[in-house]
Each structure stands twice: as C-alpha cells, then as structure tokens.
Amino acid sequence: MKLNWMEWMVVNSLPRALFQRLVTGRRLRRMGGRTEGLTALEVGCGRGVGIGIIRSLFGARQVDGFDLDPGMVRLSVRRHRGAGGRVRLWVGNAAALPVRDEVYDAVFDFGIIHHVGPWREAFQEIYRVLRPGGRLYVEEIQRRFIVHPFWRRIFRHPQEDRFDHGQLVQALDACGFEVISDAEMLDAFSWVAAVKPPAAGRR
C-alpha cells in the first residue's frame, strides 16, 4: 500500500531521517552487527535514506532497493546516482520479489512491512532471498498504533490482520528465522534482528 500524503511528509522529513540513523540504525547494528563488505537489500527504499544508512553505518558493499511507489524510486536514484553501480533500484512489491533464491547477505525493513497486506508472504520472500546465515534487520510498527482511531484517520495502513510484537516474532520463527535479539517500545514499535540458519534452505 502506498503512503498517503500525510505519511509521505512524515517519512520524508528530517526528523524521520535523523531517527532512522541515530536511533533505529544504531539499535539494529547493536542487535545484529555490521554487514561489512556484504550484499544487502532494503525492502521499501523510499527516497533512499535507508540505503545510505546501510552503506555507511552497516558497511554493506552492494545495496539493492525497491519501492512500490515509482516517485520514491526516482528520488532514491537521484540520491545515489554517484554510487558507482553499488546501488541498484527498482519498482517492486515486497510480497513478490523478482529475485532468485539466496542472493543477499542481509535484508533491511525500516518500517515497511506493516504497509503490506499479506505481510507474512513478504517475510517468506525475504527468507527465500537471504543466503543461509544471512541476517534480517526489522524496524516495525505494531497493531496498537495502526488501528488506533486517531492514527488511522491520519495515516493509510491495512487494518486487518496486523501484528503485535509477539506475533511478529512468531511469524519470523514460522518462516524459519532464528531471532537473535528483539525489543519493543510502548506496545507500538518493534525492533528485531534475526538470522536464516546456516544449514537452512527455502521453505
């Protein structure tokens, strides 16, 4: 689901960019470690702030990214045009990735999966494209925030079958991930670092 104009403004604001780098990025790095020299994917790249964080804060060598909104992809292309081929971008859907199995060493979700109706399918796709031993870094918004009468009037999110922190962790476990660290705040925000077991295959 694409962002409405209000959430577009919030997501593309300076405070959000700072929070993503100074809070979420650092927290996820502590939880899951760096990705020095590895190949990473960002699910829902937006205007490309997350890709910059993955490259600088996590040390990834190659970062791919996609977004459902072509306008966001254009902004991201503009932001990373000097990356020398180390950033690849496309318009795409998190629940159906046009990528072969076991391509990436790391996948990042900076608050995107709660926009996806079939969100379990999105995590299954992430599991599929991760190499055995690959890591998943998740920042997510929980059901309590999404269905709150005030916030659902302002933001546009799917309302059915949303997750709380425990359900998020359970869904990752059901996909085959091993959660190595997780945290939540105010029953509304989740952070998770997980790994695809080294001996794992596609489920």
> Where do the structural domains in the chain lie, given as residue ranges?
5-195
pLDDT class of 12 with cuts at 50, 70, 90: confident
> Which range has the worst mean pLDDT, 118-132, 139-153, 162-176?
139-153
Task: Report the CATH architecture of 5-195.
Answer: 3-Layer(aba) Sandwich (3.40)
pLDDT at 95: 95
More confident residue, 188 or 154: 188
Radius of gyration of the chain (CA): 16
Helix (H) or strand (E) holding 43: strand 39-43
| pLDDT per position as a tens digit, 50-75 | 999 999 999 999 999 999 999 999 99
> For all residues of the chain together, what is the average pLDDT?
92
| pLDDT per position as a tens digit, 96-138 | 999 999 999 999 999 999 999 999 999 999 999 999 999 999 9
Of the CA atoms within 13 Å of residue 177, those in its CB half-sphere come to: 31
β-bridge mates for residue 136, sequence order: 107, 194
